[in-house]
Chains A and B, each alone.
Chain A
Amino acid sequence: SQKIEQNSEALNIQEGKTATLTCNYTNYSPAYLQWYRQDPGRGPVFLLLIRENEKEKRKERLKVTFDTTLKQSLFHITASQPADSATYLCALDGASSASKIIFGSGTRLSIRP
């Protein structure tokens, strides 16, 4: 069955460093991979989307890579700030109009001052 794993439940890093979160998947060939941010008491908010034929996507301090051979996406936050502390979720989307999106369980990121 389809499976998504995010590298760890929690990640704690020093302000100013680069945070790297990992999303691995099996038994799936997504056409797109998405990343979301979720703050406590709120619904997830979309951040970035990357297509299967794209290697890398950037948005301000965010960078996402997508390796369909390794079946892995990496999500980087450069020059991290305490305000970046949140849970980050990856999600897979197939090519079919009938396919539904599948979410990972998330990684809770804490940036300490």
Chain B
Amino acid sequence: GAGVSQSPSNKVTEKGKDVELRCDPISGHTALYWYRQSLGQGLEFLIYFQGNSAPDKSGLPSDRFSAERTGGSVSTLTIQRTQQEDSAVYLCASSPRLAGGGAKNIQYFGAGTRLSVL
């Protein structure tokens, strides 16, 4: 498809287990974001990848969270030793991120992964 794809769409896990969430961005998009959204809340920024630059990890809530982006395309968000408070929808977005100042950063979102930690 032409849009951002996230998998799985739903994930139920037990407290203490590790989970991996996958994001396939739109082909050619250089920027990729991960957000977390709790029920009825706004978007919480987690991490930002822009081309070959070092990722901006300033939003990761703890060292149990990590993410990587291989080959400038697919990204995986890993949560180790999951806790109940990690339950949320995890959204991925990609953008063309045109070069130069005044860049347009319109974001294209996937449908999200709903994570439930029991």
Q: Does A111 contact B (CB under 8 A)?
A: no
Binary contact readout A30-70 vs B (1 if CB under 8 angstroms, 0 otherwise): 01101010000111111001010000000000000000000
Cα–Cα distance between A31 and B104 once the two chains are bound (Å): 9
Extra 14 A-B pairs, beta carbons < 8 Å, given A43-B4, A97-B100: A31-B101, A32-B104, A32-B105, A41-B111, A42-B111, A43-B93, A44-B107, A46-B108, A93-B103, A95-B103, A96-B101, A100-B45, A103-B45, A105-B41
In the bound complex, do residue A46 and residue B106 qualify as a contact, i.e. CB atoms below 8 Å apart?
yes
Q: Does B53 contact A (CB under 8 A)?
A: yes
Q: Does A101 contact B (CB under 8 A)?
A: yes
Residue of B45, B97, B109, B112 with most chain A CB atoms under a 10 A cut-off: B109
Cα–Cα distance between A104 and B104 once the two chains are bound (Å): 18
Q: Does A11 contact B (CB under 8 A)?
A: no
Cα–Cα distance between A50 and B47 once the two chains are bound (Å): 25
Q: Given A43-B91, A89-B42, A106-B42 in contact, is the A101-B110 Cβ separation under 8 Å?
A: no
In the bound complex, do residue B93 and residue A98 qualify as a contact, i.e. CB atoms below 8 Å apart?
no
Cα–Cα distance between A45 and B91 once the two chains are bound (Å): 12
CB-defined A-B contacts under 8 Å, sample of 29: A31-B102, A32-B102, A34-B107, A41-B111, A42-B111, A43-B93, A43-B109, A43-B111, A44-B43, A45-B109, A46-B106, A46-B108, A49-B106, A51-B102, A93-B104, A93-B105, A95-B102, A95-B103, A97-B50, A97-B97, A97-B101, A98-B53, A100-B33, A100-B48, A101-B95, A102-B45, A105-B42, A105-B43, A106-B42
Chain A contacts for B18, CB-based, 8 A: none
Chain A contacts for B112, CB-based, 8 A: 42-43
A interface residues (Cβ-Cβ under 8 A, vs B): 31-32, 34, 36, 41-46, 49, 51, 89, 91, 93, 95-98, 100-106
Q: Given A42-B111, A43-B91, A46-B108 in contact, is the A97-B41 Cβ separation under 8 Å?
A: no
Cα–Cα distance between A103 and B109 once the two chains are bound (Å): 13
Chain A contacts for B101, CB-based, 8 A: 31, 95-97
Q: Which 10 A-B pairs have the closest CB atoms?
A: A43-B109, A105-B42, A103-B43, A93-B105, A100-B48, A46-B106, A101-B105, A106-B42, A95-B101, A44-B109
